[in-house]
């Protein structure tokens, strides 16, 4: 790596406030706030809105949309030809 062109890469704690979950990893992000970690060391902490603990995809709480049912309901309500360019 060339000297002086890359940001500092070091340990950072990311904290998901909504799920009360934190994890230690390496990153180029920095923060003025710090936290004392389980190993007794102090690391910069970055608060995030969502992580794998609170994201619906990972938690299995994602809603599945019934798009086929929606299309059929639309066609019943307004007819099949609506929405096509000039056709009826």
Measured CA to CA, the distance from residue 37 to residue 24 in angstroms comes to 8
Return the structure tokens found at 15. Answer: 């904290």
The arithmetic mean of pLDDT across residues 7-13, rounded, is 93
Spell out the alpha helix ranges (H) of 1-87: 56-59, 67-78
Question: In terms of pTM, does the model score above 0.85?
Answer: no
pLDDT at 24 over 90: yes
pLDDT at 6 over 80: yes
């Amino acid at each position: 790596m060339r000297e002086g062109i890359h940001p500092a890469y070091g340990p950072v704690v990311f904290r998901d406030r909504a799920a009360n979950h934190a994890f230690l990893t390496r990153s180029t992000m920095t923060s003025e706030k710090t936290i004392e970690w389980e190993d007794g060391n102090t690391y910069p902490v970055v608060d995030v809105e969502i992580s794998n603990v609170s994201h619906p995809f990972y938690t299995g709480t994602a809603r599945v949309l019934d798009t086929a049912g929606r299309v059929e309901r639309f066609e019943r309500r307004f007819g099949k030809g609506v929405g096509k360019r000039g056709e009826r």
